[in-house]
Amino acid sequence: MKKKQIRVIIADDHVMVRSGLRLFLLAFEDLKMIGEAANGDEAIRLCNREKPDIVLMDMVMPVVDGIQATGEIRSHFPHTQVIGLTTFYEPEMIQRMMDAGAISFLLKSVSAAELAGAIRDANEGKSTISPEIQDILRGRRSSPARLSKYSLSTREREVLACIMSGMTNAEMARELVISLSTAKFHVSSILTKLNVSNRAEAVSLALQEKLVAMPVRPKKN
C-alpha cells in the first residue's frame, strides 16, 4: 500500500527559490507540492483552499510577510505546520516567526535530504532548527547596550546583515522588498552611525561589536 503523501505549499517571493525548493520536493515520492505563493497573503488563501500539511515559509515577503502569515495560518488551520526559511540571521525576526507558530526553522542553503527530513518531522509534530539558528535562539544575540550605543534601527540591522553577506544594494533591495534608493539611504545611514567610511569597515566593526549575527547566503551552483 502506497504511503500517503505529505502535501506542501511553498511561499517565497523569489521565483528561483521556489523553483529550487520545487525540484527538491520532486526527488521524494512521499512529498507533494500542491501550490506556490509569492507573498503571505497568497499563502493564507492557498491554505484556505488546499488545506496543506506543510508550508515552507520565507520571512520577508511583500503584501503580508511570513511572520504575519504564519500566525494567521496557525490560527485558522491548526493542522498545517509552518517551516520558516531564511538566508540570513535576524534574531528578533526569527524569534517572532517562532512565536507566531513556526514549528521549524531552516537556512535556505539546507540540503534536499535535510529539508525532506524536516518536512517529515514537522508533519509528525517534531521541530527541526538549524544549528546556526539554535545558537541565536539560545542567546547568542546582539548586545542591547552595543545596539543602543550605535542607535541602529531594526531595518538598519537587517541592511547591515545584508552588507555582511556581501549583497549589493540591488540585491538587498530585492531581499528586503524595498526600493533601491531606500537601500542606498540605509547603507549611508549605517556608515554614518558606525562612523566608518566604507562597507568593509562596517563589516569589521559589526563583527567586533557583534551588532548582528553573521548571515549565511544560499550556496550557488
The residue ranking higher by pLDDT, 115 or 164, is 115
pLDDT surpassing 70 at residue 21: yes
Check residue 71 and give its pLDDT: 93
Examine the pLDDT at 145 and tell me if it is beyond 60. Answer: no
Instruction: Report the pLDDT value the prediction gives residue 137, as an integer from 0 to 100.
Output: 65
Question: What is the per-residue pLDDT for 75?
Answer: 92
Tell me which fold the domain 144-209 belongs to: Arc Repressor Mutant, subunit A (1.10.10)
Q: Are the C-beta atoms of residues 34 and 66 closer than 8 Å to each other?
A: no
pLDDT at 84: 94
Q: What is the pLDDT of residues 67-116, one digit of tens each?
A: 999 999 999 999 999 999 987 667 778 888 888 999 999 988 888 999 99
pTM for this model (two decimals): 0.64
Q: What is the mean pLDDT of residues 115-131?
A: 91
The residue with greater pLDDT, 188 or 209, is 188
Confidence label for 207 from pLDDT (cuts 50, 70 and 90):
confident
Instruction: Give the range with max mean pLDDT: 80-84, 133-137, 142-146, 175-179.
Output: 80-84
Mean pLDDT of the chain: 85
- Tell me the residue type at 28: F
Mean pLDDT of 110-127: 92
Task: Give me the pLDDT at residue 138, please.
Answer: 63
* Among candidate residues 212, 197, 204, 195, the one with its CA nearest the CA of residue 161: 212
Short-list 119, 124, 41, 53, CA closest to 85: 119
CATH number listed for the domain at residues 6-137: 3.40.50.2300
Highest mean pLDDT among 45-59, 89-103, 146-160, 202-216: 45-59
Least confident of 36-45, 72-81, 144-153: 144-153
- Domain ranges for the chain, please list them: 6-137, 144-209
The predicted pLDDT at position 44 comes to 97
